[in-house]
Amino acid sequence: MLALGKLLELTLAGREPAQKIQLTADGVRLRWLSEGALEVTPAQGQDDGLDLLLSAGIHGNETAPIELLDRLLQSIARAEIKPRARILFLFGNPGAMRTGARFVEEDLNRLFNGRHESSSGPEALRACELEHLAQAFFNAPDRTRLHYDLHTAIRGSKIEQFALYPYKEGRVHSRRELARLHAAGMAAVLLQNKPSIVFSAYTYDQLGAEAFTLELGKARPFGQNAGVNVERLERRLKQIIESTEPSLADASLEDLQLFSVAREVIKHSEAFILHLPADVENFSELSKGYLLAEDAGNTRWTIEEKGARIIFPNPKVKNGLRAGMIIEPATLKGIDQSVE
């Protein structure tokens, strides 16, 4: 296998490869760009016009997605997968990956869409670098752009695998992409309704990609991910890469659960209290009238929405950041219905 196929090994060791460019026996080019970043270019005449960004390790302790990308890249390096798409593999936070921590100094996935400009430290520098790498990769005109940012969650979830679909004013969510997510094993999709500062929101908003944050299960250390089933996603990614994906024209979304964000719970001070058990699961239902959280200045979050659920509750975030999202059921109304 080509040495560049061992990008994960290089990244965890903090080593730079001696050879920056290698070719497989089939003429597929692997090019090392920087730490944790590698570009794959199809053999001459085999490019079908898709630019696919696959990122993982934005949080260093979320290892199942990192291992998934490692398997895909090694298969390409062995010429077992024959790409017909350009691919950018990104391991987001090498420093945190090496220590098995979520981050080094601050949450990398809260530093995109320019947020890194008002911060400092290793994550701010890395967010800036990742934006530049994505921008350079998605620079060619008249090509399809797709970004999957792969994660696992801090806590358990009543819906284990789900996706977050970013928002941009004037842009419509795509039924075709929802069908693709469903085929890849996502049981639910959260349709966001305001701009965000996560990586997938940057590539969606600023670079015109169809972009998603995928949550695949609970975070575990390297080598302990047998309980995270990514078989459907891995199969679909191979099909996307090789341009063998089955048609989505007749795909049903009948059992795909859709949600939208009703409100974000923002922590304003150290007086913030979240009235939920420490082990509460994502998608837990909240009854109408329930006092969810309190903060200084008599700030209170009381549930008003029918069918409300909580997602990403985390009272330990820094002041000014989101400590949870109140979500509610959504429909396909307003979705672009075209599939091809």
Region of residue 56 (left: phi > 0; alpha: psi -120 to 50; beta: else): beta
Q: Between the CA of residue 155 and those of 17, 77, 158, 301, what are the distances in Å?
A: 36, 34, 10, 22
Task: Evaluate whether residue 83 is within a structural domain.
Answer: yes
Q: Using alpha carbons only, how large is the chain's radius of gyration in Å?
A: 20
Note if the pTM is more than 0.85: yes
Average pLDDT for 129-153: 97
Task: Evaluate whether residue 89 is within a structural domain.
Answer: yes
- The CATH number given to whatever domain includes residue 281 is 2.40.50.630
Q: Which residues belong to the active site?
A: 215
pLDDT digits (tens, 9 = 90+) for 88-140: 999 999 999 999 999 999 999 999 998 898 788 999 999 999 999 999 999 99
DSSP 247: P
CA–CA separation, 76 and 95 (whole Å) = 25
Task: Evaluate whether residue 95 is within a structural domain.
Answer: yes
pLDDT digits (tens, 9 = 90+) for 278-315: 999 999 999 999 999 999 999 999 999 999 999 999 99
pLDDT category at 334 given cuts 50, 70, 90 is: confident
Q: Are 189 and 271 found together in one domain?
A: no
62 is in an annotated binding site: yes
pLDDT digits (tens, 9 = 90+) for 167-185: 999 999 999 999 999 999 9
CA–CA separation, 1 and 80 (whole Å) = 10
Q: Are 121 and 211 found together in one domain?
A: yes
Indicate the range of 8-22, 96-110, 240-254, 326-340 predicted with least confidence: 326-340
Q: Are 115 and 168 found together in one domain?
A: yes
The structural domain count of the chain equals: 2
305 is in an annotated binding site: no
Give the mean pLDDT of the chain.
94
Whether the pLDDT of residue 213 is over 70: the answer is: yes
Q: Are 185 and 270 found together in one domain?
A: no
| 257, two tokens | 């659960």
Q: Are 150 and 295 found together in one domain?
A: no
Task: Evaluate whether residue 138 is within a structural domain.
Answer: yes
The vertex-101 CA angle with 96 and 102, nearest 5°, equals: 90
pLDDT category at 338 given cuts 50, 70, 90 is: low
Task: Evaluate whether residue 216 is within a structural domain.
Answer: yes
Task: Evaluate whether residue 82 is within a structural domain.
Answer: yes
CA–CA separation, 186 and 182 (whole Å) = 5
151 is in an annotated binding site: yes
Q: Are 234 and 268 found together in one domain?
A: no
Q: Are 165 and 267 found together in one domain?
A: no
Q: Are 157 and 238 found together in one domain?
A: yes
- The CATH number given to whatever domain includes residue 40 is 3.40.630.10
Domain that holds residue 296: 263-329
Q: Are 173 and 322 found together in one domain?
A: no
pLDDT at 340: 52
